[in-house]
Amino acid sequence: MRGKEDFLALILFLVHCILLSQAVISINNGGYVGIVVAIHKNVPEDEQLVSNIKELFTEASSYLNTTTKGQVYFKEIIVAVPSTWSSKPGYEVVQKNYFPTADIKVDHPNPYHENNPYTLQPGGCGEPGQYIHLTPTFVKELHTKTLEKYGNAERHLVHEWAHLRYGVFDEYGLPGDPNYPAFYQENDKIVPTSCKQGITGWIESSGGGPCSITIDGTVNEDCRFIPDLSNEDAKASVMYLPYIPSITGFCDHTDNQLHNALAPTKHNNLCHNQPTWTVINKHPDFSRRFKRSVGFTSTKPKFRIVQSQPGSEGRYVLVLDVSRSMSVLKSRGEAAEGGLIILITDGEENVEPYVSQVLPKLQQQKVTVNAIAFGNKATRKLEDLTKLTGGKGFFFADIQGNQPTNALDSAFMDSVTSQADLEFRPVQIADTIIRLFSSKTIKNITLDKELGKNTVFTFTSEDIKDINIILVSPSGKIYDVNSPEYTKDDRIKLRLEIKIPDAEAGQWMVAILWSKFIPGVASFSLTSEPNDPRIQPVRVRSWLSDVQLKYPSHAKVYAEIKKGYNAVIGATVKATIDRPMGSPVDVLLRDNGAGPDVTKNDGIYSGYFTQFNGNGRYAVVANVINDGNAKLRRGSPSSSLIPITKFKNPADKEKKNASAAFTRDEFVVTVKPQRPNKVDEEPIEVFERTSNAGALRLDNYSPNDIDIIPPGRVTDLVMVSSEQIDEQKLVTLRWTSPGDDLDVGNASFVDLRASCVVEDIIKRFHEVDNFNESLVMKGSLDPLPPGEEQEITVEVPNAIWNAKSNSTIDYTRIDVYFSLRIVDERNNLGDLSNIVVGHFKKIPFVLLEEEPSTEWRVYVFGIGAATLLIVVIVVTCRNKGKINRCTETSLTNSA
């Protein structure tokens, strides 16, 4: 019954209101529509920014068409200027605040990136990013400093767009990065990390002059590769250095743009060595459904310049799942403009109009729907509604019972403030359930120094009349039933509130007095606002990778912890998941750059959830505490582009011809430089937070006692060292251990293998030589518990790099590739890790197939009385002098 009124209400609402869009990009005949570029309120008014944005996107649209081989372009772009700017005749007046959900944000710099554009890209391969950040300086100086420093800005914009829309990663390395170094070794050569082989250029140290290298082949951090901008052969890749003029596409399988699967790029690691174009082509935008039916004749985008009215933040329409909701709606009338519907429902969908009938209309009108669903009967279609309109769903199982619900306040707050500027939103410090076992329960809670304004302590319970609260402020001030701040409604709302306009920072004591003799329960929430919007508190934002899943499957849970653009690292982050049955489970989220977490120390903590126990909704809440280990970093790293590298000493250019690979004699050999400890971080005060990540729905569940979920993938395998003592070759490898089921539980075995043929590792891993315990010199092949760093030293047997070939190509060094996968007790195999390479000196007269066999032979000769005993030591060296397979195959690695 209730479902009916709901959707009827939605329809009426749509008919009566003019709605404005939420940022949900769609594609129409190859043209992207609905892209929002929004300028932040604090950016000073400047007409030039708007005209430069138009120019930038017009150029980018044409380059996007070129690089996608004529398939897609930017068709319509909404440029949102802030309400703080003066209004202009050309601006469309809107009620919506576009900034919080914009695809491209023009905002003051993230200190880590300064004016370099970047994309916030916390998901895995093929998953979309969240937004592109451009700074006002970058846009404003488009024709001057930006051009000089970056080359054509539109090319960088297409690079960022590919991060944002298609979920591909960078194809360059970074100086000093252990996983994605700027140079790597291939046989005898030192090669700059790039997607395509053969891009020529020069190398120079940052101070001018030759670069240095350590004996084991690590290129010093201050060495830069300066590409030859006149090289016409460099056709790819946009994800490498798009400022190279000849680059007109992404790496693929064609000769001109041939992908180099060997390069240690973030893209190769996270996308399993697939070319960027292969990943992009799998995106639904390039599926037949969206392919253009008739060719477009122009790539010039249409621009709509919109300006929100002051105070248009936080406009939303609450659609209640009760018959009263209609009159609610009518009285709101015009004020409903804002495009957000908060749908509260506990109903099943059994009367028309159904979601499937409403949805196209909502999408067409670009209305966002947030749903707050109660009980298991809430319609199964809610996820379609929220997902396809860019909204978020929350779920509460227990509303019918006497149990208070966890994190209901945060769900409401998240919805009603979702269009307000972030700086002004209240912060949820706690939203939790407190069990009352005795007459007095004490809870201590810290209010951080940036907060205090409009602080609200809220308690809800069926038994609120039996509850009394005493608050003691950090300085000892007492708030109780006699204080004017104290209100209690024990009839309708069953709610007790203490509202303090200017609360003291520090540790508060909350005493909950309970007058019944049986145990009770209450929910407790604490919110507060920043004292000064210019000094931002730590804020937590959490979300789920998916809201609809079909078993068997897994979900990823994310929590971003930042103070402005600065990352908070080292916090303890736990996601609590309420399941359709039984007790909730906790999942630890980590910011360690391993497994589901694609960037280490960026303030985004990630984790897998696999512990499903039935069909239905799973509600996820993230709880964050700083137990003393958290630190604040300056800025937060993300996929960022590289400005043009220029010669420090122009004479260096004349000394050598441009080259795609370098020999060791072009470097100065030095000892390993002591890496300067230049990490910009500071301790941060104690804090705690709660954030509601929303809910997901699982279907197709089949109860299964058998473990079918494989261990997680190792994404951060590094070669710590490789050494060679005579013929003995040792390598030390390090990685972060995943778990038995993705990142949960202890797995049982590390399947480590090596080959001198990289294709064999990628395509025939199970056939190449594996390492067993007898080759382990230090550490073990038993996996450590999830999240721990594991290190192992193994001996590389000669058999791995010997044998089979009769190639006559001679190298002085041999490359051996290593990769591993984690196996669980049921023999479920984790995905293959990233690949690392060790370099060994070739030893003349390598022994093949067999170890040298030493035997003693005793010959006895009798000559008369004398018996001569001759002992002959025979050393058999079979296959002596053959050249091994590694030397040959390293030539074929680009296939």
Ligand X SMILES: *[C@@H]1O[C@H](CO)[C@@H](O)[C@H](O)[C@H]1NC(C)=O
Binding residues for ligand X, rule: CB under 6 A, are 65-66, 69-70, 296-299, 656-657, 745-746, 772, 774-775, 785, 797, 804-806
Least gap, CB of 655 to ligand X (angstroms): 6
C-beta closer to ligand X: residue 19 or 577: 577
Q: What is the Rg, in whole angstroms, of the alpha carbon atoms belonging to the chain?
A: 31
Least gap, CB of 300 to ligand X (angstroms): 9
C-beta closer to ligand X: residue 139 or 203: 203
Least gap, CB of 774 to ligand X (angstroms): 4
Least gap, CB of 894 to ligand X (angstroms): 19
Handedness of CA 243, 244, 249, 250 (dihedral sign): negative
C-beta closer to ligand X: residue 66 or 256: 66
C-beta closer to ligand X: residue 649 or 700: 649
Whole-angstrom Cα distance, residue 289 to residue 276? 21
Least gap, CB of 577 to ligand X (angstroms): 18
840 vs 192, 671, 681, 813, CA distance in Å?
20, 18, 38, 5
DSSP 45-98: P-HHHHHHHHHHHHHHHHHHHHHTTTS-EEEEEEEEE-TTSPP-TTPEEES---
Least gap, CB of 581 to ligand X (angstroms): 22
Q: Which amino acid is at 771?
A: F
C-beta closer to ligand X: residue 536 or 879: 879
C-beta closer to ligand X: residue 652 or 681: 652
Q: Which amino acid is at 371?
A: A
Handedness of CA 185, 189, 195, 200 (dihedral sign): positive
Least gap, CB of 851 to ligand X (angstroms): 9
- Print the SS3 string covering 508-540: EEEEEEECCCCCEEEEEEEEEEECCCCCCCCEE
Q: Which residue intervals of 217-348 are DSSP H helices?
A: 266-270, 276-281, 325-332
Least gap, CB of 283 to ligand X (angstroms): 18
Examine residue 785 and say whether the peptide bond preceding it is cis (omega within 30 degrees of 0). Answer: no
According to DSSP, residue 379 is labeled: -
Q: How many residues does the chain have?
A: 895
C-beta closer to ligand X: residue 702 or 774: 774
C-beta closer to ligand X: residue 31 or 339: 31
C-beta closer to ligand X: residue 351 or 588: 588
Asked if 831 and 781 touch (Cβ cutoff 8 Å), the reply is no
Whole-angstrom Cα distance, residue 748 to residue 732? 21
Asked if 260 and 190 touch (Cβ cutoff 8 Å), the reply is no
Whole-angstrom Cα distance, residue 734 to residue 643? 32
SS3 137: helix
Show Cβ contacts of residue 434 under 8 Å, excluding neighbours closer than 6 positions.
Answer: 441, 443, 512, 521, 522, 523, 524
C-beta closer to ligand X: residue 569 or 577: 577
C-beta closer to ligand X: residue 69 or 477: 69
Phi, psi of 561 (to 5 degrees): -120, 110
C-beta closer to ligand X: residue 408 or 847: 847
Least gap, CB of 807 to ligand X (angstroms): 7
Show Cβ contacts of residue 110 under 8 Å, excluding neighbours closer than 6 positions.
Answer: 118, 133, 565, 635, 636, 638
According to DSSP, residue 423 is labeled: G
Which residue, chain included where needed, has tokens 């402005």?
A: 564
* Residue closest to ligand X when measured from CB atoms: 70
Least gap, CB of 156 to ligand X (angstroms): 19
C-beta closer to ligand X: residue 297 or 702: 297
Nearest to 20, CA basis, from 331, 362, 310: 362
Least gap, CB of 794 to ligand X (angstroms): 10
SS3 content of the chain, % helix, strand, coil (to 5): 20, 35, 45
Least gap, CB of 890 to ligand X (angstroms): 14
Joined tokens for residue 296: 């477009």
Least gap, CB of 211 to ligand X (angstroms): 17
Within 13 Å and on the Cβ side, how many CA atoms surround 574?
11
C-beta closer to ligand X: residue 67 or 415: 67
According to DSSP, residue 745 is labeled: S
Asked if 411 and 502 touch (Cβ cutoff 8 Å), the reply is no
Least gap, CB of 551 to ligand X (angstroms): 23
Least gap, CB of 73 to ligand X (angstroms): 7
Least gap, CB of 797 to ligand X (angstroms): 5
C-beta closer to ligand X: residue 208 or 360: 208
C-beta closer to ligand X: residue 70 or 683: 70
Element spanning 227, H or E: strand 223-227
C-beta closer to ligand X: residue 589 or 775: 775
Asked if 367 and 19 touch (Cβ cutoff 8 Å), the reply is yes
Handedness of CA 47, 48, 51, 53 (dihedral sign): negative
Least gap, CB of 200 to ligand X (angstroms): 11
CA 33 to chain centre: 25
C-beta closer to ligand X: residue 211 or 538: 211
Whole-angstrom Cα distance, residue 277 to residue 262? 16
Asked if 219 and 213 touch (Cβ cutoff 8 Å), the reply is yes
Handedness of CA 95, 99, 102, 105 (dihedral sign): positive
Least gap, CB of 800 to ligand X (angstroms): 8
Phi, psi of 560 (to 5 degrees): -100, 125
